[in-house]
Chains A and B, each alone.
Chain A
Amino acid sequence: MPYFLGVLLLTLAAVVRAEPAAALSELADHPRWQALLHINLGGTLRDRGNSYVDDTDFFLAENGKTDARAELVASRKALQQKDSDQRCHFPARYRFLAEQLNWNEEQPLSHCDEYREWRENMPTGQMVLVFPAAYLNSPSSMFGHTLLRLDEKPDPDSKWLSKAINFGAQVDQGDNSLFYVWKGLAGGYPGRFSVVAYAQKIREYAHLENRDMWEYALDLEPRELDWVVRHLWELRDINFDYFFFDENCSYRLLELVQVARPRARLMTELRFAELPVKTVRALRDADLITERRYQPSKAAELEHLAGRLGPAEKDLAQRLRDNPDVADSETFQAFPPERRHLMAQTAYQARRFENREGQREEDQAGKSFALLRVIQRNPAPETGSVPEPEPPESGHRTQMVRLGGGLDEDRAFGELGWRLTYHDVLDPITGFLPGAGIEGLDLRLRSTDSGPLKLEQLDLVHIRSLSPRDAFVKPVSWYVHAGWERARADGRRHPTRFLEAGPGLAWRTGGVMPYGFAIARAEHASPWTPLIETGAGAELGLLYQQPGLQADLSARGVYFENDFRRHRFRARVTLPLSQNQALRGVCERNGWRGGERDECRLEYRHYYD
């Protein structure tokens, strides 16, 4: 029997050695080989058919980046020899070639001590996609980040002991911001994979940045995950170009899933403007997600705790936060131990929240420590878990088209529009962070009886962050808005380029969020004689956001240096019709030095992609 096997192997080896060109080409087209080389199968426009890897160390053939077959031939040559060093660098390629070409060796990697030591510490029980959601006062975080987690087994004893797989750009410390933006867009920074302790990621996201974390367990077997782990070793210190738009963290992680399961075909369609939420949807649509879990941020825990306190207890918790000695007061001691525990927990969490980014100071540490002693002395009541919000993938899609019409005084108009991304505070709230809006490239065209379709408005950026203040957290809201619009500069409307921004405050009273912003504005319109006119003003408003209805009411005024002024009163309502459809009504009165006009419009909004 062994003799027979030996003959068979020799025969096979002879067949392979004869290099049937067709077989090799076929092998080079194998989905796994393409995945291992990170070949662009059409996911982005750059470099189609070539490898995304931008590092000569990754290729064994000179033209390996552009020729998968040449790389296969070179790999076969390099990895076939026993004790080859290259085997230690490319354990996944080795597994592929050995399986395909029937290299049956016992212990083929026995000489790769470094790799084997590392491999032993990499769990392959389960892979989880982790999506840290948007966080307080940072609408840009809606775009989010994703990472992968490797667990010892499904439902691990502690995910704090799992490994995090991360793809990130390697930034030069000295780059200033403009350079940084430009380089980030143009692919000027290299991106690399890294493997770190997942506990660090929990601290960074849930505790320091206060982001809720969504975990999506993936339907991948240990055998499939072995491919990923081997391949990660191959990617050690290997550079990819990093592009914010498409070849970003989320995109690269999809490629790793592709390595685990090449037939999943996640990357064949053009994936422009890859966003984490789209990654989640792509995996869901490929039936790769088996379970979803929610890990609340520290901020959500604090809100949950504070919600369980009565007004007197809240007041006491606040005093306790500032001075732990309050714990010895009669007022505090008069409460039952469970209530004391709750108050001390709230006070401690509030301290941590405030100091999450600060340096450790002696006074801080002493007070926090004193609070922990109070917590420990009073037994914990059952607090229950933080209620789970709607998951991000249940939200509306990222791009939007709209169609509408209205009346400018008594003149009718029709409107068409498109928005590249992503969400304003009045869009359907399900799955989004309340009070946060971020829009990029929002275009509105208008036609009237008297004229053809004309540009009415083009927002380049519009970001709003309304973060309500309460007893324990005191964030400053802010907004920034830049673009092109038709604005009154004298009696008439003129094309105006503008940039405005300002800090603000917001609160929550019942379901309504009252807010106020200061406004600083710079604009350019043809009537202005110095090229740029500057102004200042304020906006006050009320915002209401519930899954069934979003609405706001606002009033604003801006006064310019040249004594011109504008004001606006506005009411808006959005009625979601389904996950990706909504109706919006807007009525506004625009006034300026010399006149006033009323306008109402109604539009249908469709979200897609």
Chain B
Amino acid sequence: MSLRAIVFYLLAALILAATGLAVTRKNPVHAVVFLIFSFLGTAMLFFLLGAPFLAALQIIIYAGAIMILFLFVIMMLSVDEAESTGFALFRWMPSIVLGLLFLALSALAVLRESGSGALLKPAMATPRDFGRFVFEHYWLAVEIISFLLLLGLLAAVLVGRGKREKRVGPEGEGEEET
């Protein structure tokens, strides 16, 4: 077993353990902190699989921006109510059974695919190659994604805005809040 394989299995164990802990935590803050570890492990995995630029993006955007956004919202809402409790077995069993069924089926589909057991050869797509490829072949998609981000910004501002307050018009009316 080569060094890369050992690193891969260690990273896989780290990702699965951190994600599993994140999913089962009661406190959302703990879940987010565990999830940051999971995303850092994923970034290392991307680096191992030859995508250093995506590893950097994963750390900056996922572990940095998105998770911090989650933390901000959790602390802003200060949610301390307990989750509504039901009979836990009835709540958890169907999803776990269905999820395991999905996992078994997908494992079967992947394992039966011929050539799926081939060993991955180490290769590296440098950020220069990656950027050149994306902007030569997928420039339209990049523009659409940037437009989507702009729309997301607008939607977040519109939805997250509180009660609309009427501006004081030049006539001096409309000072009451609607």
A and B co-occur in one complex: no
- List B residues at the A interface (Cβ < 8 Å): none
Using CB atoms and an 8 Å cutoff, list the residues of chain A in contact with chain B: none
